[in-house]
A and B are shown apart, each in its own frame.
Chain A
């Protein structure tokens, strides 16, 4: 296993960072569409609903600046991506005008999760059993799916922002 001060192969790190920016860009497009089509522009207006829906938010404690640990951070990042894959899957049924944006985001997160898993395998830090998505919230109305889309996209942005800063610090000195 990797030591605390280990670093990531440069090429993989650059690809990882690029993929993060790509997923963030996809997520922004989905948020913009939800804002344009349904005036759901502010996640903070949906906090109450978010609690009621029980939208899980993955931990990135291993990636925080004061407890940075490569193996733990990579595993948590991968777990988070798998979780968001599930959450985005649960949003299936959004209106047709949002489907392209959702599908692109689903594809790119799926790509990112596969790449990360394969790199973790090559680094010898992949857990024995791949993570599972766990229980997903049930979005039982069109509005809940739209609101869920806003919240999931917003949470994903914050998740990736923290992961991005952490990965940058794993670059070779």
Chain B
């Protein structure tokens, strides 16, 4: 081994100085032990280094780079050898920031995947490899005391969401959740959420249909529409309320909201509309009276009102 670079740390704050040393070995064949050690930062030769002979005869050069301004720097220890510059060792220095506090942590209980999906904002880029971990524990009351810990949830690289599987959840009990960010320069934690998984359940939208006239169902009046809907099947065990919105298919009218419609109703006559006019209808539902999140709006259903 001809030369060896030593760094106090391979990672520093962006903008901070770094001091490195390189020692060349006298028994490096073909190398003049009195050679002058040169440094390159990337491809640029660097001034301002100090060289001294160690007690054991080896040469040591020390350099201080006053201010690292790019996230990744290659520092090379070199010597002149004939007409060429020989690289004896190379070190990679990373520069960045400690992780910012993750924020805007929110979670939804997804009944399709049967998991609690949490997402967060990671904060500004640290320029360093930063790992996020979703941490949680089961609790009673308001999450002041930890009962059972839950396996850490590790998101895929680069993703800012993670899913806690059903087997790790108590759907109707409080749990405390937070995000931890860690890189070479430090660790930060988001504020803690205290929630009951089922209280953040987000349902899939209901399905909307036209209600065809039949012996039991009289045709709609002019300016009215007959429609029926079906809650999302996996949520049938959940009491829900829904709301409907409609707007004329043509024109710039904004949505008109109708609700709440209780989930047991399942059919509805919408009146007060213009006759012979096509309307676009959508519906969404939420767990109710127990807490929950609104579903997305259902796909549109277009119906035309009867003539006068």
List residues of A whose CB falls within 8 A of some B CB: 11, 14-15, 18-19, 21-22, 24-25, 103-104, 107-108, 111-112, 114-115, 118
Contact = CB atoms under 8 A, between A and B. Distances in A.
A107 B238 CA distance: 17
A108 B140 CA distance: 18
A14 B287 CA distance: 11
Contacts of B236: 21, 25
B140 A104 contact: no
6 contacts: A15-B290, A18-B237, A21-B236, A104-B114, A111-B173, A118-B140
A67 to B, nearest CB: 28
B291 to A, nearest CB: 9
Given A107-B167, A111-B170, A115-B173, A22 B290 contact: no
Given A14-B239, A103-B167, 14 more contacts: A11-B290, A14-B290, A15-B198, A15-B290, A21-B236, A104-B166, A107-B166, A111-B170, A111-B171, A111-B172, A112-B172, A114-B170, A114-B173, A115-B170
Interface of B: 114, 140, 166-167, 170-173, 198, 236-239, 289-290
Contacts of B140: 118
Query: Which residue, of A18, A24, A112, A118, has the highest number of chain B Cβ atoms within 10 A?
Result: A18
B139 to A, nearest CB: 11
B293 to A, nearest CB: 15
Question: Which label, helix, strand, loop or mixed, suits the secondary structure of the B interface?
Answer: loop
Nearest to B291: A11
Contacts of A11: 290
A115 B172 CA distance: 7
A114 B236 CA distance: 23
A152 B2 CA distance: 76
A24 B237 contact: yes
Nearest to A25: B237
Contacts of A112: 172
B114 A15 contact: no
A115 B196 CA distance: 12
Given A21-B237, A24-B237, A104-B114, A15 B172 contact: yes
Query: Which residue, of B166, B172, B198, has the highest number of chain A Cβ atoms within 10 A?
Result: B172
B290 to A, nearest CB: 5
Contacts of B198: 15, 18
Contacts of B237: 18, 21-22, 24-25
A11 B290 CA distance: 7
Nearest to B238: A18
Contacts of A103: 167
A107 to B, nearest CB: 6
A118 to B, nearest CB: 7
Contacts of A19: 171-172
A108 B172 CA distance: 10
A21 B263 CA distance: 15
Given A24-B237, A104-B114, A104-B166, A18 B173 contact: no
A12 B298 CA distance: 30
Contacts of B170: 111, 114-115
Query: Which residue, of B167, B170, B171, B238, has the highest number of chain A Cβ atoms within 10 A?
Result: B171
B191 to A, nearest CB: 25
A108 B236 CA distance: 16
A152 B171 CA distance: 23
Nearest to B288: A14
Contacts of B171: 19, 108, 111
Query: Which residue, of A11, A15, A104, has the highest number of chain B Cβ atoms within 10 A?
Result: A15
Contacts of B290: 11, 14-15, 18
Nearest to A15: B172
Contacts of B173: 111, 114-115, 118
Contacts of A25: 236-237
Contacts of A24: 237
Contacts of A104: 114, 166
Contacts of A15: 172, 198, 290
8 smallest A-B Cβ distances: which pairs? A21-B237, A22-B237, A115-B172, A25-B237, A111-B171, A14-B290, A15-B172, A111-B170
A85 B259 CA distance: 41
A141 B286 CA distance: 44
